[in-house]
């Protein structure tokens, strides 16, 4: 029997183009053929992603991709291309990309390829609707409301009370938190601008994500009014430093507005002492936001919470929520009541037109894949996934902590494992400027070789005075102990002659 693939290839090679697809007359047949072919490309990619003999990436420099690869050219064309070429473009776009679901991809926290989540994303694109009104997204809007309530219950707010909205990522969710805090204490800023407020001060750890700084710039508070807090050796905020800096700001006539605490910082995976920070916030009447990577029972102390299912929970990008303990602030802060979209006299309960709470107008449907995954796994499934990732982090930590050639950036188990690798040539050099300089170059060199050979990917960075080190964050559900072993072998293989 002729395979589906070859019959379609034959048909597609007869110069069928996009204009022959639906809604063209007699477009059903070519549309079905085209979509089945696309699905075959996608499912082949999915299969290979989990096959450890497949490379994580087939690296090319920007100029190589821009110059064009055989049969694959990024230039846009004046005339329609054949569907055969379009299929090649689909296949090659995946070919030259990075398999972020590969069991040996550890580069980012957003990793993994959850099959149900993927199906959810496909369905979402097929529905191609917009989250702003119940009118055009009735099912998705209800799913979002229900899921947000469930998330607030898990955070620990009584009866899941409060508010929230899905946003395009953790950075934007963090920005929402600053906006809402400002609206809570100085609502007139919405209409009169920053002249309606005194000099407002934000506080966050020197280890926190840069999005808090970006928010202070974007919202007109100014990066100089964001005060960085000192941390201990594990990267946790020192509460006494917060209190001292709050008092200092007040003495200077400024108003401390907002503190961001992080539950799992980007590089170290550190947990700020939320309990003590919450006490200080209560004492000085300051908004407490918690940027969460890993949940804990203390998060309920926050006024607002950033929760990113596209990180530790493995939901396909993008999926992030801002949760707010006090209901009404999101709406009050952001609503503009556009009469052509949020008509108050619609035929249904317009409180479900939640779009005016957002800073966006059109909003992508990020909820469905998350909701569907939650259905498929249950809450327990997510918990098991996170536990497995933490077990793997512990496995890595224990494997390298006493291994020759390794030094940990900090002791103790964490969600992140940060370490230096000393190639044999560096091990005999005494500690000093020369060894620091050479060590600083090791991680970028090994990373470059990893990418060239396409075998695995892991992140690295400096931190403060510390020279470049590797940072492992494990959230990939496909990873096993053998992949951790492989990573270590690969670092040693690539680094032995440096
Ligand atoms: C602690 C923390 N907050 C916020 C962000 C930003 O999230 P996103 O990339 O979803 O905007 C990150 C990203 O790594 C993060 O680690």
Mean pLDDT of the chain: 95
Atom of ligand 1 nearest to the CA of 173: 11
Inform me whether the pLDDT recorded for 138 exceeds 50. yes
Q: Do residues 347 and 393 both lie within one domain?
A: no
**Residue 144 belongs to domain with CATH number:** 3.40.640.10
Q: Are residues 198 and 340 in the same domain?
A: yes
Do 179 and 89 share a structural domain? Answer: no
Q: Give residue-wise pLDDT tens across range 427-454.
A: 999 989 999 999 999 999 999 999 999 9
**Prediction pTM value:** 0.96
In a domain, 169, yes or no: yes
- Mean pLDDT, rounded, for 280-289: 98
pLDDT exceeds cutoff 60 at 168: yes
pLDDT on residue 435 = 93
pLDDT one-digit tens code per residue, 15-38: 789 999 999 999 999 999 999 999
- The answer to whether residue 9 scores a pLDDT higher than 90 is no
166, 171, 302: residue to mutate for ligand 1 pocket, most atoms within 8 A of CB: 171
Residue nearest to atom 15 of ligand 1 (CA): 266
Instruction: Please report whether residue 10 resides in a domain.
Output: yes
Ligand 1: residues with CB < 6 A are 109, 169-171, 174, 209, 211, 262, 265-266, 291, 293, 308, 320
Q: pLDDT at residue 4 above 60?
A: no
Residue 193's pLDDT band, with cuts at 50, 70 and 90, is very high
User: In terms of domains, do 311 and 171 share one?
Assistant: yes
- Count: domains in the chain: 3
pLDDT at 1 > cutoff 50: no
Q: How confident is the model at residue 415 (pLDDT cuts 50, 70, 90)?
A: confident
Whether 111 maps to a domain, the answer reads no
Q: What percent of the chain has pLDDT over 70?
A: 97
pLDDT of amino acid 412: 73
Are residues 403 and 346 part of one domain?
Answer: no
The reported pLDDT for the residue numbered 394 is 95
| pLDDT attached to residue 414 | 72
Residue 355 within a domain: yes
Domain boundary among 312, 330, 364: 364
Choose the residue to mutate in 109, 166, 170, 415 for probing ligand 1, maximizing ligand atoms within 8 Å of C-beta: 170
Distance (angstroms) between ligand 1 centre and the Cα of 213 equals 12
**Is the same domain home to 280 and 202?**
yes
Instruction: Tell me, yes or no, whether 166 and 293 share the same domain.
Output: yes
CA 235 to ligand 1 center in whole angstroms: 16
Looking at the CA of residue 292, tell me the nearest atom of ligand 1.
Answer: 1
* pLDDT in the model for residue 15: 73
Residues 352-366: tens digit of each pLDDT: 999 999 999 999 999
pLDDT (average), residues 173-189: 98
- Closest atom of ligand 1 to CA, residue 171: 11
CATH number, position 93: 3.90.1150.170
Question: Which of 110, 311, 415 best tests ligand 1's pocket when mutated (most atoms within 8 Å of CB)?
Answer: 311
Residue 207 lies inside a defined structural domain of this protein? yes
pLDDT of residue 218: 98
Predicted local distance difference test score (pLDDT) of residue 413? 65
> What pLDDT was estimated at residue 11?
55
91 alpha carbon to ligand 1 midpoint, in Å? 30
In a domain, 120, yes or no: no
pLDDT for the residue 12:
52
Measured from the Cα of 108, ligand 1's closest atom is 14
pLDDT per residue over 95-128, tens digit each? 999 999 999 999 998 899 999 999 999 999 999 9
**Cβ contact 475:111 at 8 Å:** yes
Distance 171 CA to ligand 1 centre (A): 6
Q: Which domain holds residue 214?
A: 130-364
**Higher per-residue confidence, 8 vs 153:** 153
Specify the residue with its C-alpha closest to ligand 1, atom 5.
170
């Amino acid at each position: 029997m002729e395979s589906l693939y070859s019959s379609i290839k034959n048909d597609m090679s007869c110069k069928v183009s996009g204009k022959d697809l639906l809604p063209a007359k007699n477009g059903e047949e070519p549309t079905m053929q085209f979509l089945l072919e696309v699905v075959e490309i996608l499912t082949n990619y999915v299969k290979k992603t989990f096959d450890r003999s497949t490379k994580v990436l087939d690296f090319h420099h920007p100029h190589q991709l821009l110059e064009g690869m055989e049969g694959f050219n990024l230039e846009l064309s004046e005339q329609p291309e054949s569907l055969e070429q379009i299929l090649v473009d689909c296949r090659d776009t995946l070919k030259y990309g990075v398999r972020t679901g590969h069991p040996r991809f550890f580069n980012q926290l957003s990793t993994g390829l959850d099959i149900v989540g993927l199906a959810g994303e496909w369905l979402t694109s097929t529905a191609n609707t917009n989250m702003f009104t119940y009118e055009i997204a009735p099912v998705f809007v209800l799913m979002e409301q229900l899921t947000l309530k469930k998330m607030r219950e898990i955070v620990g707010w009584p009866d899941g009370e409060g508010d929230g909205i899905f946003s395009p990522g953790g950075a934007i969710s963090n920005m929402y938190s600053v906006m809402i805090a400002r609206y809570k204490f100085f609502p007139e800023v919405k209409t009169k601008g920053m002249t309606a407020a005194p000099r407002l001060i934000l506080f966050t750890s020197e280890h926190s994500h840069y999005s808090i700084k970006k928010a202070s710039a974007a919202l007109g508070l100014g990066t100089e009014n964001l005060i960085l807090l000192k941390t201990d050796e594990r990267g946790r905020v020192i509460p006494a430093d917060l209190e001292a800096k709050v008092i200092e700001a007040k003495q200077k006539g400024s108003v401390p507005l907002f503190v961001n605490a992080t539950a799992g910082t980007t590089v170290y995976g550190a947990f700020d002492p939320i309990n003590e920070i919450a006490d200080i916030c209560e004492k000085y009447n300051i908004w407490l936001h918690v940027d969460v990577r890993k949940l804990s029972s203390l998060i309920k102390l926050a006024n607002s919470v950033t929760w990113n299912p596209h990180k530790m929970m493995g939901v396909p990008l993008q999926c992030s929520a801002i949760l707010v303990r006090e209901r009404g602030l999101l709406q009050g802060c952001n609503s503009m009541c556009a009469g052509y979209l949020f008509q108050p006299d619609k035929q249904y309960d317009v409180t479900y037109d939640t779009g005016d709470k957002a800073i966006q107008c059109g909003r992508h449907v990020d909820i469905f894949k998350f909701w569907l995954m939650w259905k498929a796994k249950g809450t327990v499934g997510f918990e098991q996934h996170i536990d497995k990732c933490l077990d793997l982090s512990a496995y890595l930590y224990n494997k390298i902590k006493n291994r020759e050639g390794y030094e940990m950036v900090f002791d103790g188990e964490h969600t992140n494992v940060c370490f230096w690798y000393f190639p044999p040539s560096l091990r005999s050099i005494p500690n000093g400027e020369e060894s620091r300089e050479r060590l600083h170059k090791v991680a970028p060199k090994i990373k470059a070789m990893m990418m060239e050979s396409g075998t695995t990917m892991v992140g690295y960075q400096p931190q403060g005075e510390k020279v470049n080190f590797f940072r492992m964050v494990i959230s990939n559900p496909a990873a096993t102990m053998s992949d951790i072993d492989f990573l270590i072998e690969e670092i040693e293989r690539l680094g032995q002659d440096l």
